Chains A and B, each alone.
Chain A
Amino acid sequence: MRGTLRVVAARLGQGLAAALGASVLVWALLPLAPGDPARRVLQARGIGDPQPVEIEAARVELGLDQPLPVQYARWLGRAVRGDLSESYESGQPVLEELRTRLPATALLAVTAIAIAGLGALPAALLAAAYRGRWPDALLRGLSLVGAALPAFLVGLFALQVVVLGRGWGRALSDGSPGQVWLPALVLALARIADWSRLLRASLLESLESGFILVSVARGARRLRVLVRHALPNALLPFLTAVGVGVGALLGGTPIVEAVFTWPGIGSYVVSAINARDLPVIQGFAALAAMAYVATSVAVDVLGGLLDPRTRKAKT
């Protein structure tokens, strides 16, 4: 247990480093950013044609008259106390804006991961059990297609056909659980394709190990053999791949959110980019880094718990 805690602590430290690195990168690019934030903030407040005096006052107010490292230090000082500055567009605290939209994105992501896992598992089992026959070929073909289809394309098509064509679900999402199934399914598709192929390979690999052959020789039905003997061994490498896949899935949420107008963090960040709302982007980059590392850690810990080998080594 102590070993696990140390690993988790190290990984969380890595998360902080990643958040720091992301923020440094975003701030380092600032000199290349076009436009004047002071002018933008004034326009967002309703002052359509600001006077030079007003712009200068806004610059001082926002701390933009200081050199860049000083601005960064100020931002960082506020950030570690949980204050991610205010949005240029709305004037509201960035943390608040992100926090109110987090549940919608979390719902979408978790549902998508669940769908991907629950879809990949039986698909991989069937493909491994009927290796070389048509279920296997079908899975192979479907996963090739699934890997080639961009999520936004599938989402666009699904939105049109399912929602507007047949009237299931709603065109403008409100983020409620009742409407999450379609965007989550679209988000999960690429992962189902990846994970089912990986799990199938993993299952077949553990099928080759000696004690499994004995079991098959006794005439046990393939599927039962797979589930009882091959699956527990195959799960660990599979979970490692899941950890990596979760990152790709999280990265894909802004696109799916944009297609389905899902009111989550992803679509908010996209509109912030178009509005050149820098504090939102700075806050989002740091938070996203930490969130991603946290989920990786969670998946790794889960894998460690499930692996009988590591469990045995600790007792």
Chain B
Amino acid sequence: MAVRRGVLRRLAAHPTGRAGLLLTGALIAAVLVGPLVIEHSPTAIDLARKLRAPDGANLLGTDQFGRDQLARVLEGGRRSLGAAALVMVGAMGISLTIGVTAGMAGRLLDAVAMRVVDVLLALPGLILALAVVGVLGPSFTNLMLAMVISSWAYYARLARSYVLAARQRGDIMAARMAGIGWPRIVAGHIVPAVATQLIVVATLDLGGVIVAIASLSFLGLGVQPPDAEWGAMLSESRLFFSTAPWLLAAPATAILLAVTAANLIGDALRDVAAPGREGTG
């Protein structure tokens, strides 16, 4: 707990981290509060007002069905950002469970778990996601499921190594010598420590997850019409690049802002949580 609060404070002190946190905060606020303020619905069709450039009534213009773009971008943001968070939480949960089990259990269980992880890691993530969506069918839920399946293995391998390192820690060994049982140690010390480290690593990949969700939706393999999502909106607006460029500018900018926010936080985290490791600066 103390470690997590300290990391947030250090992030806020770091210039890049501060920028990332502010941008993220603004995005989340916009996406959550916006739909309550805007009177347009993201799916309401109004053919009389189709393909209007941004004006007083529609701040980001309308698409070929007369749907308000601002409402769709915000709704899409809720979907994309929410999905990214869910995918991360899902992948973290599974990898934490398997990693801790592999690190604490006997050699057989460890070996079996790591074999499975190795097989999954031998495939590029997007290919695996494509295969899963291919079998389950294109839908937003299946997209999230596919992304969880294709990303947990990497974190599981990391979690296991963190667990193995934690087992050697002085305070853990002292607790054992004091007679405290493994279940309490694992639950109270090892899991929180490993989880914190995993969250740091996962945050570095958040931008990639957002891009992957948008890319798969762009291919038509995620959100189905008329639901709004940034990647899907770009796919739907391809034909209007020269006639209605605002239709592409809005979701494109949204994606860039979200990914940049995630990358800013990730870069700052790398400096703050693991000082003196990488010398790429």
A positions within 8 Å CB-CB of B: 14-15, 17-18, 20-22, 25-26, 29-30, 32-35, 144, 147-153, 156, 160, 164, 197-198, 200-201, 204-205, 247-248, 250-252, 254-255, 258, 269-270, 272-274, 276, 278, 281, 284-285, 288-289, 292-293
Contacts and interface: CB of A to CB of B under 8 A. Distances in A.
Contacts of B6: none
B123 A201 contact: no
B13 to A, nearest CB: 21
Interface string B115-145: 0101110111111101111111110000000
Contacts of A270: 130, 219-221
Contacts of A156: 234, 238, 241, 248
B131 A152 contact: no
A144 B263 contact: yes
A82 B119 CA distance: 21
B280 A201 contact: yes
Interface residues of B, number: 44
Contacts of A278: 134-135
Given A201-B280, A270-B221, A288 B127 contact: yes
Given A25-B132, A156-B241, 14 more contacts: A21-B120, A25-B131, A29-B132, A33-B137, A34-B137, A148-B259, A149-B256, A150-B255, A160-B241, A200-B280, A255-B215, A255-B219, A285-B127, A288-B131
B99 interface: no
A191 to B, nearest CB: 13
A147 B267 CA distance: 12
Contact of A285 (B131, B231, B255): B131
B76 interface: no
Contact of B234 (A21, A152, A205, A284): A152
A105 B252 CA distance: 27
A160 B128 CA distance: 30
B53 interface: no
A173 to B, nearest CB: 15
Interface of A is mostly: helix
B123 A26 contact: no
Chain A CB count within 10 A is highest, among B133, B135, B256, for B135
A258 B130 CA distance: 13
The list of the 4 closest CB pairs from A to B, nearest first, reads: A21-B119, A18-B122, A251-B126, A251-B124
Contacts of A284: 130-131, 134
Interface of B: 116, 118-120, 122-128, 130-138, 149, 207, 211, 214-215, 218-221, 231, 234, 238, 241-242, 248, 252, 255-256, 259-260, 263, 278-280
Nearest to A246: B124
A140 to B, nearest CB: 9
Contact of A288 (B123, B133, B218, B234): B123
Contacts of A272: 134
B127 A292 contact: yes
Given A150-B259, A292-B123, A14 B221 contact: no
A292 B218 CA distance: 24
Nearest to A273: B134
B202 to A, nearest CB: 17
A15 B127 CA distance: 15
B216 to A, nearest CB: 9
Given A148-B256, A148-B259, A201 B135 contact: no
B141 to A, nearest CB: 11
Contacts of A20: 119
A258 B219 contact: yes
A274 B220 CA distance: 8
Contacts of A33: 135-137
A265 B255 CA distance: 27
A17 B119 contact: yes
Nearest to B210: A150
B138 A273 contact: yes
B130 A273 contact: yes
A29 B135 contact: yes
A254 B280 CA distance: 31
Contacts of A21: 116, 119-120, 122
A92 B231 CA distance: 32
Nearest to B118: A14
A34 B137 CA distance: 7
Nearest to A257: B219
A281 B132 CA distance: 9
Contact of A152 (B130, B218, B263, B279): B218
A310 B242 CA distance: 56
Chain A CB count within 10 A is highest, among B131, B214, B252, for B131
A278 B137 CA distance: 10
A276 B207 CA distance: 29
Contact of B135 (A17, A26, A274, A292): A26
